Amino acid sequence: MAIASLMAMQRQDWGQASNLLRSLIEQQGVNATPYSYIMLIRALRCNLEYAEALSVCIDAHEKHSNHPDIDAEFSVLTSILGLKPYSNEELKEEDDVLSPETLEKEQKTKIEEIKE
């Protein structure tokens, strides 16, 4: 199944590759490797299924925390989707990331970055 999914990726048949990789991960169960997840995430990205790829990336991170390639995929996907992950230090309970004040502050920061 792993080889068949790689062959599908070689043909750029992203839908087939993602289906095969999902089946592979399901069969591997708790023994699924980080690279099975990474290849699925990449197949979904190539198929422009960014939200689904992010969902798989989050699942992969839960099973393989602090894996550098999974973290890199997460960074790429959040960037593509325009999401900004907040650490616990940056986000206080009283802060609302969607409040007009916070959005205005972020917009001013982006404008200043562009001017520089």
User: pLDDT tens, 91-101?
Assistant: 554 455 566 77
State the Cα angle at 42 between 49 and 29, rounded to 5°: 100
Across 14-20, average pLDDT? 95
**69 and 95: one domain?**
no
**105 and 67: one domain?**
no
Residue 66 gets which letter from DSSP? Answer: T
> Distance between CA 71 and CA 32 in Å, rounded?
17
Total structural domains within the chain: 2
**19 and 32: one domain?**
yes
- Supply the range of the domain harboring residue 65: 2-85
**49 and 22: one domain?**
yes
Token pair listed for 88: 């616990």
> Is residue 84 predicted with pLDDT exceeding 60?
yes
**93 and 74: one domain?**
no
**66 and 99: one domain?**
no
**43 and 76: one domain?**
yes
